[in-house]
Every structure is written in structure tokens, then in C-alpha cells.
Amino acid sequence: MLYPYKFIPALVERVWGGTALSRYGKSIPFGKRIGESWEISDRDDVQSVIANGPDKGKTLREQITAHGAQLLGTNCGKANRFPLLIKLLDARERLSLQVHPPASVAAKLKGEPKTEMWCVLEAEQDAHLIAGFRRGTTGADFMRALEGIRNHNGKEKTIEDYIYRFPVLTGDTFFVPSGRMHAIDAGVVLVEIQQSSDTTYRIYDWGRVGLDGKPRKLQISESLACIDFQDYEPRKQRATVEYHGVNGLWRLVECPYFHVHRLELRNAWPDRCDGSTFHILSCTKGAVGLLTPDGKEERINVGEFILLPAALGFYTLTPLAEGTQALKSYVPRLA
């Protein structure tokens, strides 16, 4: 029998991580800098394990093998792997400047294509994101800075003279298509929803050393093959809103790989998994009550994620606190 699944988070130490995810229900080991909590993963090296119900202890991969399209939905076609990877990130320090490969070059580089989006849960005062280039920058400018070569006017310029850095606030949403150079700056906690890929090419690491005390490896040639050098000063997502009674639905990102909506819950919200796709629900403010077709109730707290199988049927969300907001993610019909 299929039912809503919660999973045991997989915590990943990063040199840029911290302890902020403890505020989101994660048990941070003493002295560890946890940068990522992998909430839903069907990667060979990180398999999400079910934390609730009769299938507790089974992996997401085992459930997909057993139930196929009943779990994934018809939008996934004949896929036998979960198409998304869901994370929480805590950037206490700036992440490396990096890029993910587009589908057109990923296979040549022996990587996987990766498009992602960010929903900011916390942003400290003067927090920023980095994405794309300042307008007017050329590929030659950037490569000269990367190589540490003086440019034509004799003035020493650095990579930071050419990248686009902009302020970010709690609640902001940002889209990171493959090929977009990017970094998360210090003081940000966010939800990351992405294709199920772990391919990242590191361009520059600000002179930092890793957890082992050694400089972290860069992938310059791979990065240059992936970067979109025409990506100038990208903007944060402008959401479109629809109202369902007193409730609101904000369309944050709708791309070929995933759709992500923000729900503002002031009253009961009926919805349905109709067999075409699973739904992933998470709470970003307040707390959410989930009533399933068999009359069982689940509570979703801030920082928790729950997977609703495609064949689940009707369900109802209710706000358990004033100002409750949730994210709903699913896949459109995949090519």
C-alpha cells in the first residue's frame, strides 16, 4: 500500500557549512560543519531511507522498483529512478564559484546535466547570491582574470570584477539552469530542488582549503566548456499568483524538469495526486497538516519534506499556524 513517505535526512559535511540546519530539525554532530541535508535522494551513493509507516527502513529505490509508475507517475514515462534531488543547504561561508553541465555537453564530459532552483529560508543582513556575469563582460575578460593575466589597460582585475553579485532576502527564489555560473554567498539557508545529478565543476574557490587542509580541486577546462558567457545579470524569479478562495498559489519555477509552487495556506487546501506525477511537500513557514485519503493525518514542520506517490489520490492540506506556507514540487511530462 502506498502512503506519504518521510525520509531520514543524509547530512553532508562541507568546508562552507555550519550548524544552522539544527533549527530545521536536523541533528548536527558536535564539531561538524554540515552544509547539506539530502532530504530525498535516489543516488547510488545516497539512498533515502523511509522513516515512517509500514515500509520504514526501505529505500526509495526499493519502493520505485516495487511500485514503478504508481509512485513516480506517468509523466516520468519508463523511468526507474527518482528524477529529482531535494536538499537543504546552510552556507555559513561562500560556496565555490561553479557551474553544472548542460545536456549538450554533459555526456562528453562524463557528467550528468543539472538544472536547479533555490528557495531562500534565511538570509542574514547583507546576504548575497552570485550568478552570471556583469553586463559587458566578455569570455576573454573572464579567462584573463582566471589566469591572473593583466588585461589590455594594465589594471589588474580579478574574477570578482566580472561576476554578478546581488542581494538576497528571505523568501526569494532563484533559478539556476545548467550552464549558469553561480555561488551561494555566506549567511544563507535555502531549499535546493534539482535534477537528480551530482555533477558540479568548480571554477574558483577564493583561495580556500578544504576540510583536509589542502586546496580543493578545480575543474577549469570542464567549467569553460559549460559556462554560458552570454548570461548577464540574471534576475530573481518573479512569481505569478493565483487565489483559491482565501488561499494563494505562487508559481515560482516551471521548467522542463520540475515545477515548484508556493502555497499560502489560510484555510483547507484540497488537492490530488492523479497518477500523472508524485508531489513533494515541504513547509517553509508555520506548520502544515496533511489529511490522506484513508483519513490518516501527518504534520509537516518547517524543514521537513514528504513524498506523496502519484497514485495516492485526494488529500487535504491545512495550516496549523498563522502565516503557514508550503512548497509543492512535481515533474511535468518528461521528454
Residue (of 290, 296, 281) closest to 327 by Cα position: 281
- Rounded to 10 degrees, the C-alpha dihedral 208/210/214/216 comes to -80
Q: Over the chain, what is the mean pLDDT? A: 95
221-253: per-residue pLDDT in tens? Answer: 999 999 999 999 999 998 889 988 899 999 999
- The cell for 258 is 520540475
Q: Which of 202, 216, 238, 272 is catalytic?
A: 202
d(CA 266, CA 16): 37
d(CA 4, CA 315): 10
* pLDDT score of 1: 85
Per DSSP, what are the bridge partners of residue 98?
182, 202
The region, left, alpha or beta by phi > 0 then psi within -120 to 50, assigned to residue 266 is: alpha
CB 263 within 8 A of CB 254: no
Asked if 150 is an active-site residue, the reply is no
pLDDT-above-70 percentage for the chain: 97
Average pLDDT estimate for 23-31: 96
Average pLDDT estimate for 48-77: 97
Q: How far is CA 54 from CA 73, 75, 150, 221, 309, in A?
A: 21, 27, 64, 48, 15
Residue (of 133, 129, 106, 107) closest to 118 by Cα position: 129
Phi, psi of 93 (to 5 degrees): -125, 165
Walk me through the domains of the chain, giving residue ranges and CATH numbers: 7-226 (2.60.120.10), 240-330 (2.60.120.10)
- The cell for 311 is 497514485
Cβ neighbours, 10 Å, residue 54: 9
- The amino acid occupying position 243 is Y
Q: What is the pTM of this model?
A: 0.95
178-195: per-residue pLDDT in tens? Answer: 999 999 999 999 999 999
- Run of H or E residues at 318: strand 313-319
| SS3 state at 249 | strand
Phi, psi of 281 (to 5 degrees): -115, 140
* pLDDT score of 335: 63
Residue (of 190, 217, 181) closest to 282 by Cα position: 190
* pLDDT score of 150: 46
